[in-house]
Amino acid sequence: MPVDDLGKLGMRMRVARNEMGLTQQRLSDMCHVSIREIAKIENGEMNPSFLILKAIIQVLHNSLDSLIISDGSADEGAEQMKMLYLSCSPEMQETLLNNTKRLTEELISLSKKLEKE
């Protein structure tokens, strides 16, 4: 799997794990895979074997295609933003949302100023 795909797989896996309220350690225990391997997969540093992926999707109640194939109908940038947001803790999500709102407002304002010139 190409590096970019490994990163996307890892991010989707992290989001699914967080949605289930599982820690890396708990997922590791349930899949009979080392926590180091779970961390490497989530960080896009490891191309997991089919057997590891099979164990992970069974525990996460996910399909293989939901972890490796992006939704073609969704805008890729929006999907990346969503994955980043969902991979954060609630406190980090709030900070990310506030900063994104502020940055968007500044970019819109700057764009309007440039249009007037």
Tokens at 113, concatenated: 């100023």
Q: How many residues does the chain have?
A: 117
Distance CA 88, CA 74 (A): 21
H helices, E strands: number in the chain: 7, 0
Beta carbons within 10 angstroms of residue 57's beta carbon? 19
Residues 6 or more apart in contact with residue 7 via CB below 8 angstroms: 44
Write the pLDDT tens digit of every residue in 41-58: 999 999 999 999 999 999
Over residues 24-31, the mean pLDDT reads 97
Angle between the 35-42 and 24-31 helix axes, to the nearest 10 degrees? 120
Q: How high is the pLDDT of residue 2?
A: 53
Mean of the per-residue pLDDT values for the chain? 87
Distance CA 47, CA 41 (A): 7
Q: How high is the pLDDT of residue 117?
A: 76
Return the domain boundaries, the chain.
3-72
Write the pLDDT tens digit of every residue in 78-104: 777 887 888 888 899 999 999 999 999
Over residues 27-44, the mean pLDDT reads 96
CATH 1.10.260.40 fits 3-72, yes or no: yes
Residue at token pair 């900070």: 95
Does the pLDDT value for residue 71 go beyond 90?
A: no
Q: How confident is the model at residue 70 (pLDDT cuts 50, 70, 90)?
A: low
